[in-house]
A and B are shown apart, each in its own frame.
Chain A
Amino acid sequence: MNGRMYDPISGRMLSPDNYIQSEGFSQSYNRYSYCVNNPLRYTDPSGNSWEGPGGTADPGFTGPVIPNINFSEYFPVNPYTTSTSKNGSIIQSMIEKELIGSTREANFVGPKESENITGKENNNYKLNLYIEGEAPGATFYIGVAGSISENVLFSKTYGTWMGKDFKIRSQDWGGNGNSGGKYKFAEKWSTRMGYVGYGFAVYGAFDINEDYRAGEISTFRMTLDQTMNAIGGFGGIYGAVASFGWEIGRQITYTQSYQESVSDFWFWYWKSCESSVLNSNFIYSSPINK
């Protein structure tokens, strides 16, 4: 092989293959895999094309193909408009993004060519674009909420503390047995939250590094998350608690249910814009592709 380096942790090549070797074989479009993702059966001694067990070039190899693909051919029905005219732009932008440098998976769930889908029935089809950690929202809100919660729990700056009866009081109240004594309960839990947050920040720093190395997250996402981890690791208890919330949010955005709910939201958003899109030359540069 000697042409491309292999990363054993992510199980991927570090650079893309030079050619898409078989137009009709979807595995060829993942240019970061080795021998159409089937190293047990095929080899690639030349570095240009995969070969079958007999040592001869596989008949699937049709020579170098520049990735200029008519995507409408592969996704003939537009799930949004039941028209083929706009189809290429959405799918093409999604898949071109995959071809250019990311190993993330875009699973398209839509009507098949043979199905006769019209009107209301078409609404049942969803765009299921599952991209790990890409959906924004939860990380930010939970991170901020965590930091505010810690401040409410025990803060000399804002003059608040919370007893074990979960009532928020001002610092001038002395506390009693029901509240766990002045500061004691609040201080204890505030410190614990800080330590857990620090742990999350450390874990997150190395986890994000690994995800980025495997090409699973964008540079923007990595920069955002690592900034939060730096704040968590070096920002004392406030930073650690913010990082605690951020990491929980990040794990939530990893879940498929969250991703699907975000996809559903944009699906209905696009549906509501459908009429204006049909009457214009607008090309879908969808928010989900950002």
Chain B
Amino acid sequence: MFSVIYYKYYLFYKRVLKEKDPYITAVLSFSFAQSLLINAILKMVLAYFYCLSYGKWGGIGIVIFLIFINYIFYIRKKNGQRIVEAAPEIFGSHVLSVLLTVIFTCVAISFMFYGADWEIYMLEKCGSSPWEIF
């Protein structure tokens, strides 16, 4: 699934924005999207189960870590080139692949806008029964 999303990111930067180095731009954006999702999930879990939270540098640290991992995987080990040559699609459907990429990106971006509110909500519900969350 990640290969498909990476490939669509690559195509977006190569064809739409005409980037000079779409491989690296795709890695940066993909890492940012992944970090938003991971941060959101981590913050919710910590807030609800442990009444804990962490600041911006924790989030930025996760981004840097993911950029490093993705850079090694997609650029240094040349998996990015292999994925582009293979042109993977979900069930062979271009539309489904684009839809998955758009949904993934929108969900990630939504955490930028609603993450803080949801985190506060989960902190307020910390220690309560799971039925009270919704």
Contact = CB atoms under 8 A, between A and B. Distances in A.
Interface in A204-256: 205-207, 209-210, 212-213, 222-223, 226, 229-230, 233-238
Nearest to B32: A233
Chain B: interface size category: 20 to 34
A198 interface: yes
Interface of B is mostly: helix
B79 interface: no
A14 interface: yes
A202 interface: yes
B60 interface: yes
Contact of B56 (A5, A207, A222, A235): A207
Contact of A238 (B17, B113, B124): B17
Most buried by A among B32, B36, B63, B126: B32
A166 interface: no
A48 B60 CA distance: 39
Chain A: interface size category: 20 to 34
Contact of A236 (B17, B32, B51, B57): B17
Contact of B55 (A9, A15, A226): A9
A209 B19 contact: no
A7 interface: yes
Of all A-B residue pairs in the complex, the 4 with the closest CB atoms, nearest first, are: A206-B56, A236-B17, A206-B59, A213-B116
Interface of A: 5, 7-9, 14-15, 156, 187, 191, 198, 201-203, 205-207, 209-210, 212-213, 222-223, 226, 229-230, 233-238
